[in-house]
């Protein structure tokens, strides 16, 4: 092979094996230990990992090996299967990313506005219906590729193309696919991401205002220290008054004076579940940013390649961008839910 072929094969191999490790890791770490511990986030992460592994194992890996076995590229069966798996995985991954964004938006808003009350997507039955519908749509758009995808026939072009019976059918199929499988999920991801960003900014502003108010107050010590001092002074005053009234009344006064101390301490402490939701929401924002950049570029290249069929560079760049998204996203999610470690138990 030439130098450019080696570079292309190395990049494809890096994306392929890094994506396989990351998505397998995401699915493994999301497996619940028992049926009672099944949560919506775990189901969505497992579905995303399975969707991405279809591309990693059944598209990227065969394309990497096809550089060494050139006869694969001219096979109609090879083109049909790879195009089917690619469209199936891509559509399912886009919808799952939208569901993850919607779920963490609901959880974040619910934890702040409703005190962590259950949200609609906490229902596993609803999530199963949504995922079932997304796989149905993915199958509807990917199945025709088995029959219409084939090699271009040119020895210099190493890509698979789609041959529709008529140009009108191709335009109709592309319009439906771009609208239902790309535009609609992208709108949902944008809406959820914007709401998450607004909620996080408001929460951060509220925290900053509270910290400024504490610094501008008369107390120099931190809130936890001042609470202990006030409780200690109150207990001392109550003990002095109790000695004058008698032993019986002193025991009651000491109890009422010392009880407020742990209650005030618990009010100062932050909620760990809320912090975990904020961290996960930030990872969703990071994934949404990567998604919008990668898939917008991917869509532009896809549209351009559909207009200019002989543009091999556009097809390869689109495949590389899609592979890069599938490669890095699982690690961002694992970092967001604090599962980016070697412990599988």
pLDDT tens-digit profile, the chain (345 residues): 567 777 777 888 888 899 999 999 999 999 988 888 889 999 999 999 999 999 999 888 887 777 776 665 567 777 888 889 988 998 999 999 999 999 988 888 766 666 667 788 989 999 999 999 999 999 999 998 888 776 655 544 556 777 788 888 888 888 888 888 888 888 998 888 888 888 888 877 887 787 777 776 644 444 444 444 554 555 555 545 545 545 444 444 444 444 445 444 444 344 555 677 777 777 888 888 887 787 777 777 766 766 665 566 666 776 677 777 778 888 888 888 878 776 544
Instruction: Please tell me the predicted confidence (pLDDT) of residue 250.
Output: 44
**Within a domain: 212:** no
How many Å separate Cα 62 from the centre of its chain?
A: 27
Instruction: Please tell me the predicted confidence (pLDDT) of residue 111.
Output: 62
Give the range of the structural domain holding residue 26, as residue numbers without chain letter: 3-207+272-336
Instruction: Please tell me the predicted confidence (pLDDT) of residue 115.
Output: 66
Cα distance between residue 196 and residue 226, in whole Å: 35
Which among 121, 104, 101, 100 is positioned nearest to 46, based on CA atoms?
100
Instruction: Please tell me the predicted confidence (pLDDT) of residue 224.
Output: 45
Cα distance between residue 26 and residue 333, in whole Å: 8
Cα angle, residue 178 at apex, residues 122 and 97 outer, rounded to 5°? 25
Tell me 218's DSSP state: S
Q: What is the pTM of this model?
A: 0.74
Cα distance between residue 3 and residue 5, in whole Å: 5
**Within a domain: 37:** yes
Cα-based distances in Å from 102 to 161, 273, 313: 35, 18, 35
**Within a domain: 151:** yes
Cα distance between residue 273 and residue 112, in whole Å: 11
Which among 292, 320, 317, 321 is positioned nearest to 304, based on CA atoms?
317
Q: For residues 101 and 41, is the Cβ–Cβ distance under 8 A?
A: no
Cα distance between residue 255 and residue 286, in whole Å: 51
**Within a domain: 284:** yes
**Within a domain: 253:** no
**Within a domain: 35:** yes
**Within a domain: 235:** no
Cα distance between residue 95 and residue 276, in whole Å: 24
Please report how the helices 272-307 and 76-113 are oriented relative to each other, as an axis angle in degrees rounded to 10: 150
Q: For residues 40 and 124, is the Cβ–Cβ distance under 8 A?
A: yes
Q: Tell me how many domains the chain contains.
A: 1
Domain harbouring 193, CATH code: 1.20.1070.10
Which among 342, 291, 322 is positioned nearest to 16, based on CA atoms?
322
Q: Radius of gyration over alpha carbons of the chain, in Å? A: 28
Cα angle, residue 35 at apex, residues 33 and 41 outer, rounded to 5°? 75
**Within a domain: 267:** no
Instruction: Please tell me the predicted confidence (pLDDT) of residue 228.
Output: 45
């Amino acid at each position: 092979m030439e130098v450019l072929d080696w570079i292309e094969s190395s990049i494809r191999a890096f994306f392929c094996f890094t994506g396989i490790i990351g998505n397998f890791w995401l699915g493994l770490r999301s497996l619940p230990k028992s049926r009672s511990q099944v949560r919506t986030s775990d189901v969505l992460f497992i579905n995303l990992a399975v969707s991405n592994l279809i591309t990693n194992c059944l598209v990227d890996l065969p394309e990497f090996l096809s550089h060494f076995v050139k006869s694969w590229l001219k096979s109609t069966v090879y083109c049909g299967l790879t195009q089917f798996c690619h469209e199936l995985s891509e559509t399912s991954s886009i919808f799952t990313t939208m569901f993850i964004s919607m779920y963490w938006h609901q959880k974040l808003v619910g934890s702040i506005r409703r005190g962590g009350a259950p949200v609609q997507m906490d229902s596993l039955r609803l999530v199963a219906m949504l995922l079932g519908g997304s796989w149905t749509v993915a199958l509807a758009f990917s199945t025709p590729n088995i029959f219409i995808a084939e090699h271009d026939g040119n020895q210099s072009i190493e890509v698979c193309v789609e041959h529709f019976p008529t140009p009108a059918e191709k335009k109709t199929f592309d319009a439906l696919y771009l609208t239902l499988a790309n535009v609609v999920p992208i709108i949902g991801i944008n809406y959820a991401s914007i709401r998450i960003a607004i909620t996080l900014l408001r929460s951060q502003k509220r925290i900053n205002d509270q910290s400024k108010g504490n610094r501008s107050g008369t107390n120099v010590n931190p809130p936890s220290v001042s609470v202990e001092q006030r409780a200690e002074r109150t207990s001392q005053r109550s003990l002095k008054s109790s000695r004058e009234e008698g032993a019986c009344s002193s025991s009651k006064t000491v109890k009422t004076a010392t009880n407020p101390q742990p209650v005030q301490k618990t009010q100062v402490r932050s909620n760990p579940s809320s912090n975990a939701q904020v961290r996960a929401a930030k990872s969703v924002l990071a994934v949404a940013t990567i998604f919008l950049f990668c898939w917008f570029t991917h869509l532009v290249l896809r549209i351009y390649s559909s207009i200019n069929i002989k543009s091999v560079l556009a097809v390869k760049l689109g495949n590389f961008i899609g592979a890069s998204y599938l490669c890095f996203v699982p690690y961002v999610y694992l970092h967001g839910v604090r599962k980016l470690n070697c412990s599988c138990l």
